[in-house]
């Protein structure tokens, strides 16, 4: 009996893209509620995209007689393409063993593909709720004599580093990070140590453990063994992330997208000063955003800590209905299955959803019609060389690359941010 023909690497690559493009899209839209709801396009060409943004309305209005016309003022928002990638490795033996059977091939590659896209979306979600800096956190600058020392070593000599205000979702075991050493440190002051592996993440104690092969205690200490702060960044990402909510909506000066921050180019910001979340605060923010831009937020996103408080608040009031999906649909019309609570605000009903990349003390009031992710047309699985699968040098494995060029455009006028809530 003749043996079954083994299909070629290019055929396998074509099958790969057919089978996994829809899977990749579904993972993209299910990473978090904001990624599922915001607008997306794939027509970003060149390194920059310009969008004309009105900064005033025409003055040609009046009563009693025909008014004199005036010209509306526009500014060009400049959106610069950012590079974001995920790379997955597939054992060559696994691929070769499955290349005579389509079903076997799909089964052999599905899980690693899914994990690769999930990793990409985790990183994009992190960036979407951050400030564009790529910074994950800063080591705590405390005295060695306090109850909580800055540094310690585990049984293998790896460095345990407490992170100030640690956001658990920003850190993952096996992630590679860059450490920027304090200028006053004993070892390598002011330098960047690249590609340090995170060995362990301890959210209860708010610490990460870094591989001893690249960092030493002296990287975090001055000459008197007093701890100095060091900044931790996602590898190769310092100041290279896409624009994110925190950077755009927290801005009160300077410029965003090359437009000066001012009345019609600024989010409504409120510092709670340690106050507890309340229905009055929720209503106040909803109304003030509507007052500023003429449109109400249609989505509230907050931390799990504040979401828990909101659930208790609404339960006590016994007049708000908790819904599994809160009636959300993606821009393509597909149902989104995120758990949320519907809040009947002064501006009408709005869904409130928790997100693990949001700081514990803040709430975002968003209009997802004014959050847009622009991608280059070739965004997705790379096949520039005629195949998705590229041989890894000096290893018996292939790798596949996902991602490309994109950036997030957020018109700040249509959103609000509440910070400094009690936790």
Average pLDDT estimate for 185-192 = 90
Task: List the CATH number of the domain containing 301.
Answer: 3.30.2320.10
pLDDT digits (tens, 9 = 90+) for 234-276: 999 999 999 999 999 999 999 999 999 998 899 999 999 999 9
pLDDT of residue 408 exceeding 80? yes
pLDDT for the residue numbered 146: 52
DSSP-derived 3-state class of residue 302: strand
pLDDT digits (tens, 9 = 90+) for 111-142: 888 888 888 999 999 999 999 999 999 998 76
Spatial distance between the Cα atoms of 166 and 230, rounded to a whole number of angstroms = 14
Q: Is residue 351 part of a domain?
A: yes
Question: Considering its fold, how many domains does the chain have in total?
Answer: 3
pLDDT for the residue numbered 416: 97
- Name every residue whose Cβ is closer than 8 Å to that of residue 42 and which is 6 or more positions away in sequence: 375, 376, 377, 379
Whether residues 149 and 111 share a domain: the answer is no
Whether residues 265 and 293 share a domain: the answer is yes
Task: Give the range among 124-133, 337-346, 394-403 with minimum mean pLDDT.
Answer: 337-346
Task: List the CATH number of the domain containing 220.
Answer: 2.40.30
Whether residues 318 and 386 share a domain: the answer is no
pLDDT band at 335 (very low <50, low <70, confident <90, very high): low
Q: What is this structure's pTM?
A: 0.88
pLDDT for the residue numbered 338: 74
pLDDT for the residue numbered 324: 45
pLDDT of residue 176 exceeding 80? yes
Better pLDDT: 143 or 188 = 188
Alpha-carbon distances of 156 from 72, 151, 162, 174, 184, rounded to whole Å: 65, 14, 18, 16, 27
Q: Bridge-partner residues for 300, per DSSP? A: 352, 365
pLDDT band at 4 (very low <50, low <70, confident <90, very high): low
Domain residue limits at 151: 135-234
pLDDT for the residue numbered 108: 76
Both tokens of 407, joined, read 């950036």
pLDDT of residue 327 exceeding 70? no
Whether residues 345 and 397 share a domain: the answer is no
Q: How far is CA 76 from the centre of its chain?
A: 25
pLDDT for the residue numbered 210: 96
pLDDT digits (tens, 9 = 90+) for 63-72: 767 777 667 7
pLDDT digits (tens, 9 = 90+) for 201-220: 999 989 999 999 999 888 88
Whether residues 52 and 96 share a domain: the answer is yes
Q: Is residue 61 part of a domain?
A: no
Q: How far is CA 213 from the centre of its chain?
A: 29
pLDDT of residue 52 exceeding 60? yes
């Amino acid at each position: 009996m003749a043996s079954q023909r083994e299909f070629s690497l290019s055929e396998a690559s074509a099958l790969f893209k057919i089978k996994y493009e829809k899977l990749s899209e579904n993972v993209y839209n299910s990473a978090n509620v904001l990624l599922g709801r915001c607008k997306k396009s794939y027509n970003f060409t060149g390194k920059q995209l310009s969008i004309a943004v009105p900064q005033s309305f025409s003055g040609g209005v009046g009563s009693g007689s025909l008014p004199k016309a005036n010209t509306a003022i526009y500014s060009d928002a400049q959106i610069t393409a950012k590079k974001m990638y995920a790379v997955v490795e597939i054992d060559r033996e696994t691929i070769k063993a499955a290349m005579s059977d389509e079903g076997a091939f799909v089964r052999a590659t599905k899980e690693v593909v899914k994990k690769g896209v999930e990793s990409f979306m985790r990183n994009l979600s992190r960036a979407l709720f951050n400030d564009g800096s790529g910074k994950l956190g800063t080591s705590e600058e405390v005295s060695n004599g306090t109850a909580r020392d800055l540094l310690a070593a585990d049984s293998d000599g790896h460095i345990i580093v407490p992170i100030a205000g640690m956001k658990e979702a920003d850190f993952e075991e096996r992630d590679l990070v860059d450490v920027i050493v304090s200028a006053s440190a004993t070892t390598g002051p002011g330098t960047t140590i690249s590609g340090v592996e995170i060995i362990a993440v301890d959210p209860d104690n708010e610490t990460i453990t870094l591989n001893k092969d690249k960092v030493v205690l002296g990287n975090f200490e001055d000459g008197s063994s007093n701890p100095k702060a060091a900044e931790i960044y996602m590898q190769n990402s310092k100041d290279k992330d896409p624009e994110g909510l925190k950077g755009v909506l927290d801005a009160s000066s300077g410029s965003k997208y090359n437009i000066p921050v001012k009345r019609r180019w600024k989010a409504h910001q409120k510092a709670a000063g340690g106050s507890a979340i309340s229905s009055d605060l929720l209503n106040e923010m909803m109304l003030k955003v509507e007052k500023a831009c003429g449109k109400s937020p249609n989505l509230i996103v907050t931390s799990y800590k504040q979401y828990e408080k909101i659930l208790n608040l609404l339960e006590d009031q016994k007049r708000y209905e908790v819904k599994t999906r809160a009636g959300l649909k993606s821009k393509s019309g597909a149902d989104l299955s995120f758990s949320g609570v519907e809040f009947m605000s002064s501006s009408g009903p709005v869904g409130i959803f928790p997100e693990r990349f949001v700081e514990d003390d803040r709430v975002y009031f968003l209009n997802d019609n004014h959050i847009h992710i622009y991608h280059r047309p070739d965004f997705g699985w790379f096949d520039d060389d005629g195949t998705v699968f590229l041989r890894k040098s000096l290893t018996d494995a292939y790798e596949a690359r996902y991602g490309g060029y994109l950036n997030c455009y957020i018109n700040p006028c249509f959103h609000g941010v509440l910070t400094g809530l009690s936790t």
